[in-house]
Homo-oligomer: A and B are copies of this chain.
Amino acid sequence: MSLWCDEVNDHVSRFGLKIHKTLFHTRSPFQDILVVETDLLGRALMLDGMWMTAEGDEKSYHEMLVHPALCTAPHIARILVIGGGDGGTVREVLKYPEVQQVDLVEIDELVVQACQQHLPSIGTAWHDPRLTLTIADGIEWVKTTKPGTYDIILVDGSDPKGPAVGLFDHAFYEACARALTPHGIFVSQAESPVLMQDVHIDMVQALQKAFGHAYPYYGTVMIYPGGLWSWIYAARTTQPTDLKAERVARITETTEIWNKAIHHGAFAVPNRLQQALQRS
Contact = CB atoms under 8 A, between A and B. Distances in A.
A127 interface: no
Interface string A197-234: 00000000000000000000010111000111000000
A40 interface: yes
A38 to B, nearest CB: 7
Interface size class of A (residues with CB under 8 A): 35 or more
A188 to B, nearest CB: 20
| Count of identical protomers in the assembly | 2
Contacts of A257: 270-272
A4 B266 CA distance: 33
Interface stretch (A5-13, A116-124, A236-244): A5-13
B2 A11 contact: yes
A14 interface: yes
A147 B222 CA distance: 41
Contacts of A228: 220, 222, 227
A174 to B, nearest CB: 30
A143 interface: no
Contacts of A269: 261-262
Interface string A257-273: 11101101111111110
Contacts of A255: 271
Top 3 A-B pairs ranked by shortest CB distance? A227-B227, A265-B265, A261-B268
